[in-house]
Amino acid sequence: MSTTDASVQLIRNATTLLDVDDTTFLVDPMFTPQGEMPTVTESPGVPEFLTTENQKRNPLVPLHDVDLDYDAVVVTHRHPDHWDETAIEKLDANVPLFCQPEEADEFTDEGFTDVRPVDDETTFDGITIYRTPGQHGHGELAEGMAPVSGFVFEGKETVYVAGDTIWYEPVEETLDEFDPDLVVLNGGEAQFDQGEPITMGVEDINAVREATDAEIVVVHMEAINHCLLSRDELRAETEDVHVPEDGERFSL
């Protein structure tokens, strides 16, 4: 149960515990032990022509030991650094699971019995949940990475979890429409040797900072081999942005 109206605790990468009012959402669970996943370029669904200089196996860091007490699960998209085989094994099959409509059948096929695809909006435990657009890169690479979504959670406070997206017009429109109190961004500036970054880097995050008065928390850092922007670099090149370590909680 949350002790504030809104807070976010980083577990690792994009895996977070999000408290809104008295409800806790587990977002993008990736539970695989350190080094037991392949590099991103060897992962299912990644085009064979993509390469990356860093060839370390994923995840790069161990799973932080936190109390995983939650009411529902939210999966922004099914890339393996956001939803993995270990999560499938460990999660209760009856947990309410919110996702993109395009991926609902895959969760059902994995044995989950309370899959709740979000077309536009839905409610859970007094919280209104809106699905928002995302663009996971640029050009043809972004098309290959689609679909991805963000989610807005509206309770006493409003929280926008942007998901794997770059800064582009629909993100700005989401900020204008919902005027969130807290924004969670996926940083790391993930990229391959080919094409432009596929998650937010310094320029994207500074653009968000300029567009909103919300508190900003940046996750998705230093855990996956193609995320090349470090926490220290991001802290040095941004102002009024929170960049938590694994296990750290930020509360409004």
Q: What is the pLDDT of residues 85-100, one digit of tens each?
A: 999 999 999 999 999 9
Pairing verdict, β 215-219 and 182-186: parallel
State phi, psi for 72 to the nearest 5 degrees.
-155, 165
Q: Round to whole Å and give the CA distance between 69 and 67.
A: 6
The single residue listed with the structure tokens 């909680």 is 249
pLDDT at position 45 over 70:
no
Q: Round to whole Å and give the CA distance between 154 and 58.
A: 34
Are 212 and 175 within 8 A, CB to CB? yes
The answer to whether residue 169 is domain-embedded is yes
Find the CATH number of the domain harbouring 138.
3.60.15.10
Of 27 and 44, the one with more pLDDT: 27
The answer to whether residue 247 is domain-embedded is no
The answer to whether residue 22 is domain-embedded is yes
DSSP 3-state of 210: helix
Residue 195 backbone zone (phi > 0: left; psi -120 to 50: alpha; other: beta): left
Domain count, the chain: 1
Q: Round to whole Å and give the CA distance between 49 and 218.
A: 29
The answer to whether residue 144 is domain-embedded is yes
Spell out the residues 6+ positions from residue 63 whose beta carbon is closer than 8 angstroms to its own: 11, 12, 31, 32, 33, 34
The answer to whether residue 245 is domain-embedded is no
Q: What confidence score (pLDDT) does residue 2 get?
A: 43
Which of 89-98, 115-124, 135-144, 242-251 shows the lowest per-residue confidence on average (mean pLDDT)?
135-144
Domain enclosing residue 73, as ranges: 6-239
The answer to whether residue 220 is domain-embedded is yes
Are 224 and 192 within 8 A, CB to CB? no
The answer to whether residue 20 is domain-embedded is yes
